[in-house]
């Protein structure tokens, strides 16, 4: 599974404005609903249920909120670079400024885990994150995420 399988140019937000974790997830749910045709309320509810199990703020300024939706037909991602870092209750207590939302069909099984692993591997790379933090242009972010993933892969 490659990042290009999860992400299209319109699924990159270069300057997400949010002042809280809840607001960031609401905005990502709204955008995901527009692009997938799924219910915004259902997406947001799924993300919040997952957050109640434990934070998806994985540390180093990164969050990977995720969940499964019954009506979704294929894996779907949104990458967002926040305008200002926010408290995401991350495991290292650092604020988050890079978010990769991942939604999967209910029956995705191992594919969901493979996609999570792929996104996590990309965002664990400090050089990759430095480059992503170095631009607020959506096209440049998309190019960094897609074109360089093979060289960033561990």
* CATH number assigned to the domain comprising residue 70: 3.40.930.10
Helix H segments across 93-154? 110-124, 126-133, 138-147, 149-152
Question: Chain-wide mean pLDDT for the chain?
Answer: 91
Annotated catalytic residue, options 66, 81, 112, 118: 66
Number of structural domains (the chain) is 1
112 catalytic per annotation: no
pLDDT at 154 over 50: no
The pLDDT value given to residue 2: 87
Instruction: Examine residue 154 and state whether it is found in any structural domain, yes or no.
Output: no
- Expressed as residue numbers, the domain containing 115 is 3-148
Name the residue among 5, 29, 25, 140 with its Cα closest to residue 82: 25
**How confident is the model over 100-110, as pLDDT tens digits?**
999 999 988 88
In a domain, residue 31? The reply is: yes
Q: Kindly give the pairing relationship between strand 96-105 and strand 76-86.
A: antiparallel
Write the pLDDT tens digit of every residue in 67-101: 999 999 999 999 999 999 999 999 999 999 999 99
């Amino acid at each position: 599974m490659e990042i290009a399988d999860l992400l299209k140019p319109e699924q990159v937000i270069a300057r997400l404005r949010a002042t809280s974790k809840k607001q960031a997830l609401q905005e990502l749910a709204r955008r995901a609903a527009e692009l997938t045709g799924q219910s915004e309320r259902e997406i947001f509810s799924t993300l919040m249920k997952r957050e109640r199990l434990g934070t998806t703020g994985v540390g180093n300024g990164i969050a990977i909120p995720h969940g499964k939706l019954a009506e979704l037909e294929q894996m779907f991602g949104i990458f967002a670079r926040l305008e200002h870092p926010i408290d995401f209750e991350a495991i290292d207590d650092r604020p988050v400024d890079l978010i990769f939302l991942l939604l999967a069909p209910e029956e995705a099984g191992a594919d969901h885990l493979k996609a999570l692993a792929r996104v996590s591997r990309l965002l664990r790379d400090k050089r990759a994150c430095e480059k992503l933090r170095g631009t607020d242009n959506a096209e440049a972010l998309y190019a960094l995420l897609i074109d360089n993933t093979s060289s960033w892969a561990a």
